[in-house]
Structures are given as C-alpha cells and as structure tokens.
Chain A
Amino acid sequence: DTGVSQDPRHKITKRGQNVTFRCDPISEHNRLYWYRQTLGQGPEFLTYFQNEAQLEKSRLLSDRFSAERPKGSFSTLEIQRTEQGDSAMYLCASSLARPQANVLTFGAGSRLTVL
C-alpha cells in the first residue's frame, strides 16, 4: 500500500461544470476525511466518514457538494455547478479509528481551478 491516492491531481474546468474527485485511502483505514485548502490558509474541514457512514458535514459544504463512500473503501467528492470560489486544493486524509493510532495520513491533493 503506497498511501492515500487522489485523482485527478489537477482539474481545470469552466464555471457551471460538474467535477468529481476520487480518494483511495490506506486499505486498513476506516476513517476518511475531506478538507479544502486555499492559498495561505489551513485546511478547512468538509466532511468525514467512518466506514461508509458520513459522520459529519460542514456547513461550508453547500448543497452543490456531495461526498460518498459507498463500500467503506474509496470516496468521491462531487461539486456540481462549479463557481470560481470553489477553486482550491481538495485534500483527502485517512486514519484508523483507534484513539491511540489515529494519525491522519494525507494524499497529495486535487487542485481545482474554475475559470
């Protein structure tokens, strides 16, 4: 297992288009997180899953955003009707659900540019 994989690494799209990002976590990790990061800021929490259950969703995540983790393995983050303000780096992280071992392991991120 080579860590957390995110695809695509870069996406350029026109305003109004839909985009989908995929995250493949470390195989034995049952927690999966999505964050959004803009230049000069720390990552902003979007949502997280334990197995296939979505435990919490940020109010930052408007109804244009949806995330799924259908079989408790990979996850997708879809943004519908993209806006220029959605331009950011979308980061995925995974961890174990054990309190002593829940180090977050991040992927390299998916950079979105909305023109």
Chain B
Amino acid sequence: KQEVTQIPAALSVPEGENLVLNCSFTDSAIYNLQWFRQDPGKGLTSLLLIQSSQREQTSGRLNASLDKSSGRSTLYIAASQPGDSATYLCAVPTSGTYKYIFGTGTRLKVLA
C-alpha cells in the first residue's frame, strides 16, 4: 500500500529565501511523481511531473528531484516570493496503477 508523507507540514520564510519541500513514499515501483500547488479553497494546479526515469525536472524557479530507490522527492523553490504562499502537495501512483495517492501537503507562507 502506497503511503506518502510530506515534511514539514508548515513553513514560514522571509521573501527571497530558497527552500526545500520534502516528499517520501513507501512503494518505489512508480511511473512518475507529480507536484501540485493549492491555494485556499481552490482546486489543485499542476506544477511538475517527473518521470521515474528522470532525476530532475525544472520549471522556472521550481526544481523537483526524484530518488526512486530511497522513496524521496524534493521540490526546490528559488528566491521565494509572497505569491508562492500556498499548500504544496505531492502525488504518487500505487504500484502498477495510475491511482494517485497524495501527501497531506506543506503549507508555505512567504513573508514580504
């Protein structure tokens, strides 16, 4: 059974800081891993999809890495801005399926 854990649960940083969000999963037989952003009361917005054959994926100030063997992914946000304040969620499929399991998220607050 796939279980996904995200650490820290909440994070508050001053504007301009670089930061790392962590996601760990128990079943490493995955096709890919996805990172999402969720603003309060809204749906989820896809940020990055990283395939199991990739080690990194980048989009603007965001960089996601994947280490399947250790069951870990990190989301790196460079030069954080107040507009980055949101909850960040990772999602991983269960073995052999496309049923995605989500972590509980990291609530990020970037202070101006």
Interface: A115 (CB within 8 A): no
User: Contacting B49 at CB < 8 Å: which of A35, A55, A91, A103?
Assistant: A103
Contact A56 B97 (CB under 8 A): yes
Contact B46–A104 (Cβ < 8 Å) = yes
Q: How far is the CB of B99 from chain A (nearest CB, A)?
A: 5
Q: Are B98 and A48 in contact (CB under 8 A)?
A: yes
Interface SS, B side: strand
* B104 adjacent to A41 (CB under 8 Å): yes
Bits for B67-81, please: 1 = Cβ < 8 Å to A, else 0: 000000000000000
B99 touches A56 (CB 8 A): yes
Interface residues on A, range: 20 to 34
B44 touches A99 (CB 8 A): no
Per the bound structure, the CA–CA distance linking A55 and B96 in Å amounts to 12
Residue B34 CB within 8 A of the other chain: yes
Name A's B-contacting residues (CB within 8 A): 4, 31, 33, 35, 40-45, 48, 55-56, 91, 93, 95, 97, 99-100, 102-109, 111
Listed in ascending order, the chain B residues whose CB lies under 8 Å from chain A are 4, 6, 31-32, 34, 36, 41-46, 49, 51, 89, 91, 97-105
